[in-house]
């Protein structure tokens, strides 16, 4: 039987027909009938009614058959934004059907998720469905191991998190990978990639949203292949590619782009009014949340240049020269980004002159060897920065830095000195002897997000001023951001040769101003004493 027009999407589909593949209506409809009859979701009242696009994804996955009757698609990639296509629901339906209704001999279905919480979501959906079905008396659900077993079918389902070291050697009938773009490494995928290889109808389904970097293994190995299949460049007939995302050069505020990324926009799955409200809320919440919305709700892969966080075009206009009397009477916080090798070391002190109004001074040190190495390149030379103190040899003279910190502590009302965690113990302990509270700040979005957001806003609102440091300006313009799944931002650099040390020390010092004594960055093992 010829497939319906909507099921023939790519050049690979047309090649499959030429090679004798066909459309099996019974197979295409079996999973839909099974879902209507036996699947119940803990988040949907009554019978699950799939949208047309959701049903067609499942029908394409199961309806296409090879000439010998086996399934055509051994691999499927569904790439869609969050909260619009029912990804977890579809993963659960496929897992439920493969475990209980597909008819495959001795099925072993593994659902792999980016985290334990994700793994629990799929297991909980299946457990709920089983308990509200006729299969419940014959099924053993084990929450502690996230396993479901049906002895009469010799069938087993297991939900795991992405720990590749424990997943080798499985003989799976089906593997489902949820939120692949958010797994830390490819270990789990590599361990399970060929787990169904020995099964005539073995299946792997990988579902994800756009992650925070295009260098991620999911982007390079799976998403990119799906895009090549959709463009006709790749003619692999065994790979089902379904990608919903906005155009790379489209406007995130264009409703046409909303629909491209969210085919269910306007349906109960994705109400247009709510989507519009979410978009406006993200725009007003700051750059981090706005970028996060574009990535997670519109499927946009953000380029490094788009992740530039600080606007420095008018940074020179913020230069100021408060009086020493004003500085001595204002609370101060120091940030120190120490070098491990030949990179520069940066120190910034920030005063809060009045509530929400800040002034910073910055200094930097670098070893002579690093200066000579950089001068061999076409990069900005360290000698170009008046603030740069060059020390002899191949190591920065930390005694000079410590003496400078001690001098700052004696001359100003320094409430805290925040260090980058690396190599901070000796200097921090020595500074503590001068009565300065010293802390090590872990390099994560949880700690840096408040200072990132406040510094950007203070620069925009001209509440931030500085001593004219060209090094600080240079480092701020190199800052790009990574976003975690909560929309919190963390400073990174676009390339390894770019320097952000001055920006890190400025953020650490500002964090010292933002953290109240009771909420400071004190964590077990983080305080230097």
- Which CA distances in Å does 101 have to 230, 286, 442, 483? 31, 47, 49, 40
pLDDT digits (tens, 9 = 90+) for 391-403: 888 888 888 899 9
Q: Could you tell me where the beta strands, DSSP code E, fall in 162-303?
A: 174-178, 203-208, 239-243
Contact (CB, 8 A) for 78 and 91: no
**Please, which pLDDT band fits residue 309 given cuts at 50, 70 and 90?**
confident
pLDDT of 482 over the 60 cut: yes
pLDDT-wise least confident of 199-203, 417-421, 465-469: 417-421
pLDDT of 487 over the 80 cut: no
Q: What is the pLDDT of residue 480?
A: 86
Length of the chain: 529
Q: What is the pLDDT of residue 73?
A: 98
Identify which of 199-203, 209-213, 365-369 has the greatest average pLDDT.
199-203
Task: Enumerate long-range contacts of 423-426, CB under 8 Å, 24 or more apart.
Answer: 423/338, 423/340, 424/336, 424/338, 424/528, 425/528, 426/398
**Average pLDDT, whole number, for the chain?**
90
Q: What is the pLDDT of residue 164?
A: 52
Q: What is the pLDDT of residue 527?
A: 40
**Whole-number percent of the chain with pLDDT over 70:** 94
Instruction: Please give the average per-residue pLDDT across 503-510, as a whole number.
Output: 96
pLDDT of 461 over the 90 cut: yes
- In whole angstroms, give the CA distance from residue 450 to residue 520: 12
* The two structure tokens encoding residue 211: 């992650």
Instruction: Please give the average per-residue pLDDT across 467-493, as a whole number.
Output: 87
Which residues, other chains included, contact 521 with Cβ-Cβ below 8 Å and sequence gap of 6+? 418, 439, 441, 447, 511, 515
- In whole angstroms, give the CA distance from residue 12 to residue 307: 36
Q: What is the pLDDT of residue 318?
A: 95
Q: What is the pLDDT of residue 117?
A: 78
pLDDT digits (tens, 9 = 90+) for 22-36: 999 999 999 999 999
- In whole angstroms, give the CA distance from residue 95 to residue 111: 7
Class of the domain covering 315-365+396-528: alpha beta
Q: What is the pLDDT of residue 493?
A: 82
Architecture label for domain 5-244: 3-Layer(aba) Sandwich (3.40)
User: Which of 201 and 482 is assigned the larger pLDDT?
Assistant: 201
462: β partners: none
Q: What is the pLDDT of residue 209?
A: 92
**Please, which pLDDT band fits residue 72 given cuts at 50, 70 and 90?**
very high
**Please, which pLDDT band fits residue 519 given cuts at 50, 70 and 90?**
very low
pLDDT digits (tens, 9 = 90+) for 425-436: 778 888 888 888
**Whole-number percent of the chain with pLDDT over 90:** 66
pLDDT of 524 over the 50 cut: no
The verdict on pTM exceeding 0.95 is no
Instruction: Please give the average per-residue pLDDT across 475-495, as a whole number.
Output: 83
Q: What is the pLDDT of residue 55?
A: 97
pLDDT digits (tens, 9 = 90+) for 74-126: 999 999 999 889 998 999 999 999 999 999 999 999 999 877 777 788 999 99
Instruction: Please give the average per-residue pLDDT across 281-292, as a whole number.
Output: 82
Question: Which residue spans of the chain are classified as CATH 3.40.50.300?
Answer: 5-244
Q: What is the pLDDT of residue 175?
A: 96
- Which CA distances in Å does 189 have to 5, 118, 195? 33, 16, 10
Contact (CB, 8 A) for 448 and 456: no
pLDDT digits (tens, 9 = 90+) for 221-243: 999 999 999 999 999 999 999 99
Question: Which residue spans of the chain are classified as CATH 3.30.420.240?
Answer: 315-365+396-528
pLDDT of 162 over the 80 cut: no
- In whole angstroms, give the CA distance from residue 527 to residue 320: 33
pLDDT digits (tens, 9 = 90+) for 247-285: 988 999 999 999 999 999 999 999 999 999 999 998 887
């Amino acid at each position: 039987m010829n497939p319906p027009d909507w099921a023939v999407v790519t050049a690979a589909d047309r090649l499959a027909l030429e090679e004798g593949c066909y459309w099996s209506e019974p197979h295409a409809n079996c999973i839909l009938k099974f879902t209507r009859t036996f699947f119940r979701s803990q988040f949907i009242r009554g019978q699950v009614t799939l949208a047309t696009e959701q049903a067609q994804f499942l029908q394409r996955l199961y309806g296409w058959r090879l000439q010998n009757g086996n399934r055509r698609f051994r691999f499927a990639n569904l790439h869609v934004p969050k909260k619009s296509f029912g990804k977890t629901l579809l993963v659960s339906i496929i897992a439920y059907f493969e475990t209980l209704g597909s008819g495959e001999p001795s099925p072993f279905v593994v659902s792999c998720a980016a985290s334990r919480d994700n793994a629990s979501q799929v297991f909980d959906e299946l457990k709920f469905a089983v308990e509200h079905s006729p299969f419940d008396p014959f099924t053993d659900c084990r929450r502690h191991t996230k396993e479901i077993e049906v002895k009469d079918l010799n069938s087993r389902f297991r939900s795991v998190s992405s720990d590749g070291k424990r997943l080798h050697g499985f003989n799976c009938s089906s593997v489902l990978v949820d939120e692949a773009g958010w797994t830390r490494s490819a270990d789990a995928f590599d361990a399970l990639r060929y787990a169904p290889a020995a099964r005539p109808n073995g299946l792997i389904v990988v579902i994800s949203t756009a992650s925070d970097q295009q260098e991620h293994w999911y982007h390079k190995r799976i998403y990119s292949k799906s895009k090549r299949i959709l463009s006709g460049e790749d003619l692999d007939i065994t790979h089902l590619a379904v990608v919903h995302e906005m155009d790379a050069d489209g406007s995130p505020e264009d409703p046409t782009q909303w629909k491209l990324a969210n085919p269910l926009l306007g349906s109960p799955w994705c109400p247009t009014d709510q989507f519009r409200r979410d978009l406006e809320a993200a725009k007003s919440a700051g750059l981090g949340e706005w970028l996060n919305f574009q990535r997670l709700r519109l499927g946009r892969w953000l380029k490094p240049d788009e992740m530039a966080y600080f606007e420095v075009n008018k940074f020179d206009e913020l230069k100021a020269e408060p009086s020493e009397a004003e500085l001595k009477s204002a609370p101060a916080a120091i940030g120190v980004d120490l070098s491990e090798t030949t990179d520069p070391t940066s120190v910034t002190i920030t005063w809060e002159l009045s509530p929400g109004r800040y002034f910073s001074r910055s200094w930097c040190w670098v070893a002579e060897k690093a200066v000579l190495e950089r001068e061999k390149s076409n990069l900005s030379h360290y000698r170009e920065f008046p603030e740069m103190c060059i020390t002899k040899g191949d190591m920065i003279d930390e005694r000079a830095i410590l003496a400078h910190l001690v001098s700052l502590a004696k001359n100003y009302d320094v409430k805290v000195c925040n260090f980058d965690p690396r190599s901070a113990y000796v200097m921090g302990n020595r500074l503590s002897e001068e009565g300065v509270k010293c802390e090590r700040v872990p390099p994560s979005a949880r700690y840096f997000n408040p200072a990132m957001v406040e510094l950007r806003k203070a620069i925009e609102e001209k509440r931030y001023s500085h001593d004219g440091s060209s090094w600080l300006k240079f480092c701020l313009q190199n800052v790009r951001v990574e976003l975690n799944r909560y929309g919190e931002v963390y400073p990174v650099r676009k390339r390894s040769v770019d320097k952000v040390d001055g920006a890190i020390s400025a953020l650490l010092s500002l964090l010292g101003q933002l953290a109240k004594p009771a909420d400071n960055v004190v964590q077990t093992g983080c305080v230097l004493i």
